[in-house]
Amino acid sequence: MDKIDRLREEIARREAELADLRSQLAEAEKLKSTGDGDGNGHIEGAWKWPLEEHDYQRYSRQMIVPNFGLQGQLHVKHARVLLVGAGGLGCPAAAYLAGAGVGTLGLVDGDAVEVSNLHRQVAHSTGRVGMMKVDSAVAYLKELNPTVRYNAHATHLTPQNAEDIVSQYDLVLDCTDHPTSRYLISDICVLLSKPLISASAFQTSGQLIVLNNPPGKGPCYRCVFPKPPPPESVVGCGEGGIIGPVVGAMGVLQALEAIKLIVRGDHLKARTGAEEQGERQVGMLLFSAMGDAPFRTVRMRGKRKGCFACAGDGSALTLNELKTSMDYVQFCGVNQPVKLLQPEERISVAEYERISREHKSHLLLDVREKEHFGVCNINGSINVPISRFTSHRGEGSDLSDLIPGDVPPDAPIYIVCRVGNDSQIAAKKLKDWGADRNGERFIGDILGGLKAWKDAVDPSLPFI
């Protein structure tokens, strides 16, 4: 494994060097196009066009599109765009913005590339596993377009560094996947008068909305979502899953919205102090990959009166407040571990491994959804998804859809899930519904779930 890691690091290093060489070549060709043909910059005849020769070659297909043209390309060339997140949304968005010729492209991300990212985060590669995502993405983007200036911010955006980073750009794309980040990004965009394009994707659906546009007049994220979702309802791709093209489609749409704003010159409004006449209609685009009509738009209200962030002079939010007092984790809440069972109602994976090895009569219920169960499971377990427990009628009703009829009435029931939360919920419900026969039958869960089982008992388990 050490040799494999060393080889991967060497490949990543050489890919980065190659990307830098291509960037230097592009700069040399750029000088040559305005010089005498020898690459030394000696001017034989003045170049009279507003873009350089290689720009016309590279961007001609978009420049001839109606309402884009030369002026649109000039706007794109001088635009400064920041992407917060270099993952499933950020990779395709960055690729299309770099391909379009955005002058400066910044990426913020504090994570490293993992193998599980690769099915959807298309800017990364197997050879760059372990590399910081921003560095991996820049290496990829330089291969695509070495004439763009790239800024890699290898850190997470925080209330303390947000002003320094975001102030360098004209337009921001929120490519993150958690409410804490979304509220922070929206707040700093309001404070610094930056338009914001926010997207999200989960399983087979996604949503997209343009916020704070025009700056100071369009609604912010808090206008649309005044309260964060309950922390227990926030499920990431690691648990809920994601189809690669779904998040890819949303990232591409983010890039498209950014290009639209840039070509119209909207990104320059805050920079120049230009006033926008009237408000644009705000809509949220909803995407359902498995629907008969995958796209639909929901009309949104404008700015919310009394909004904490963007209510104007009456706003409670300031740059100093954001840096010193805002706690976004506390505001969004923390999903606390489930604590429904007593210690004596939970057994360790080592204890269950002994029970199964001795072939003691019992029932093992795996309450993950069928897709998770189909990927991997403990030998002898029966799949009864947690959704069946939450939709069951309750006490006094037939439990045969949860407990097979051929199980002896005194056989203990052990319940397992991914990490030990849903298993407690299921065990508590069975006990509440009388399945423990007033304490005569043991009903409990396996502490730590499949993750603990993989760590301590069966490392070969392809746990996801």
**Residue 439 φ/ψ region, left for φ over 0, alpha for ψ in the -120 to 50 degree band, beta for the rest:** left
Query: What single string gives the DSSP state of each residue in 91-108?
Result: HHHHHHHHHHT-SEEEEE
User: Given pLDDT bands bounded at 50, 70 and 90, which one contains residue 396?
Assistant: low
Q: Is 310 assigned to a binding site?
A: yes
Let me know how many helices (H) and strands (E) the chain has, helices first: 18, 13
Asked if domains 52-272+280-332 and 343-457 share a fold, the reply is no
Question: What CATH number was assigned to the domain covering residues 52-272+280-332?
Answer: 3.40.50.720
Q: Is 288 assigned to a binding site?
A: no
């009829």: which residue's tokens? 405
What's the rounded mean pLDDT across residues 277-302? Answer: 83
Q: Is 117 assigned to a binding site?
A: yes
Question: Do residues 207 and 283 touch, judged by C-beta distance below 8 A?
Answer: no
Cα–Cα distance measured from residue 263 to residue 259, given in angstroms and rounded to the nearest whole number: 6
User: Given pLDDT bands bounded at 50, 70 and 90, which one contains residue 424?
Assistant: very high
Catalytic residue among 175, 189, 237, 332: 237
Q: What is the pLDDT of residues 50-64, one digit of tens each?
A: 888 889 999 999 999
Residues 6 or more apart whose CB falls under 8 angstroms from that of 300 comprise 209, 219, 224, 282, 283, 284
Q: Is 323 assigned to a binding site?
A: no
Q: What is the pLDDT of residues 133-146, one digit of tens each?
A: 999 999 999 999 99
Amino acid symbol at 19: A
Q: What CATH class does 343-457 carry?
A: alpha beta
Q: What is the pLDDT of residues 180-213, one digit of tens each?
A: 999 999 999 999 999 999 999 999 999 999 999 9
Q: 362 exposed, middle or buried (CB, 10 Å; 0-12, 13-18, 19+)? A: middle
User: Given pLDDT bands bounded at 50, 70 and 90, which one contains residue 267?
Assistant: low
The domain spans of the chain are: 52-272+280-332, 343-457
The yes-or-no answer on residue 91 being catalytic is no
User: Given pLDDT bands bounded at 50, 70 and 90, which one contains residue 442?
Assistant: very high
pLDDT at 426 over 70: yes
Q: Is 23 assigned to a binding site?
A: no
Residue 236, pLDDT score: 67
The yes-or-no answer on residue 417 being catalytic is yes
Catalytic residue among 175, 189, 332, 417: 417
What's the rounded mean pLDDT across residues 210-217? Answer: 90
Q: Is 175 assigned to a binding site?
A: no
Q: What is the pLDDT of residues 377-393, one digit of tens each?
A: 999 999 999 989 988 88
**Residue 145 φ/ψ region, left for φ over 0, alpha for ψ in the -120 to 50 degree band, beta for the rest:** beta
